[in-house]
Chains A and B, each alone.
Chain A
Amino acid sequence: MEPIRYVEALNNKIGAMGFSPYQWSENDTAHWTALEKPLSARTVAILVSGGISHCAAVPFNPDARNDHRVDAIDPGAPSDQYQIHDSYYDHADADRDLNCIFPVDRLTVLAAGGEIGAVAARHWSGFMGRTYNRSKVMNESGPAFVEQLKADGVDLLVAIPA
């Protein structure tokens, strides 16, 4: 099947919820960091935006807008101790197996097999909101997040939007 046209569908959904129209980012070029380092020597972290929080933490707001919250996720914690609150996708499968959307256990297996150097000390869940105040991502919440990655020596981030 053809890929779903999410831009159009989300615009309609956001409008139906009574929110103002979403202005999508459009970029012709991308930033680039060249790193001559094999996977087997890299420390890898995962960031997911699907409203995933530890059961002991406050749940994410499933209809959030402008939510810059990002939680650290312990890669050693059992993946069945998380909850998902996000009204923008069907997480029935992910409720049963977090790895459908946030493949933390699979990354641990790849690390054990030597395919990557190491799993980072922390994974991340956040930046889920329909973000209207994008300059805040670029100037505040984004850079603050990068400092956390640097503190953990991360040299590859796998980013998973949901």
Chain B
Amino acid sequence: MRGQSVRRLRSAAATWSALTAALGVVAALGVFVFESPAQRVVIEYLILVGLVVAIQTFVGASGILSFGHLAFVGASAYAVALVTIPTEQKARLLPELPEWLAGLEFGLLGAVAVGVLAASILAAVTGAVLPKMEQFPMAMATLAVLVMMHTIFANWETVTRGTIGILGIPQLVDIPVAFGAAVVVVAVSVAFQASAAGLRLQAVREDEVAASALGISVVSARRTGWLVSGALTGAAGAIWALNNVAYGPDQFFFADTFTLLSMLVIGGMRSVPGAVVGAAVVTVVSQLLRTVENGFSIGPIQVAEFPGVVQLAIALVILVVLVVRPDGIVRGEWISLARRLRGRAGR
């Protein structure tokens, strides 16, 4: 038993170091090599890694697709907005806020803590009900959570400014911050999935009946994963908010749910490295196609703009990936690959 858990922790640490190194290379390229527009892409990519890994923590370990995680991002982002917008501007934008809230002006760490708190509260409330359901009903209920929170974001005008959206959030994220956040999220996610609670959740994913026969509570295993993943999504969402500085309810809805989940599915939802790879693939495809979306010209030929081509292309990539490799680009192979390499080195 003891040797097992040491080996598991060591392999988790190895995964984390490898991913940190890979993300470090991307971040270093962003800081030292790239110019300004490409730097934005690097920041966005690192933030996406945080979000996708946070979602993977639940979806990958439980095998239940969640459409509700953008509600965590939204809850976190609005909470961050309430505590970071400069006081004067806040008085103008949201005159009806209670006094104690109107006076708050938090920095980066305080804002992230508030974001985590907001998402955790939502996760605790929804976590009271959702994990009791079976696999597919729960997936469906997560969609209901998304719709419910979207209705609230879009209509609670005294706090969210409704469909107009909120603005004035300070830009506190640069490449080192985004890198640091991604690395921390990866660390927590990898540690959770190597922990006893994480293993219980994976056991439930593989075989519910066998897992409960071993004395594992299916409901509490799923609830723990939901809470950890919700809190992590809150952290990643706070970073997202502090980078985007202005947003509205539609940014926490269906389109972005699709984008984030597609990264997970393309990369392989069973492993954290899969999430990191998937985020990279989708980012590259989107960047390449963004020019097509806005229209461009080759010499005298004017190519008309084609709105939605990015989403369309990602959807097609997903269909192809799912048919060719239903488990995504990085299958469960990550661990066995690492083990094989280590075995070879030892010999």
Decide whether A and B assemble into one complex.
Answer: no
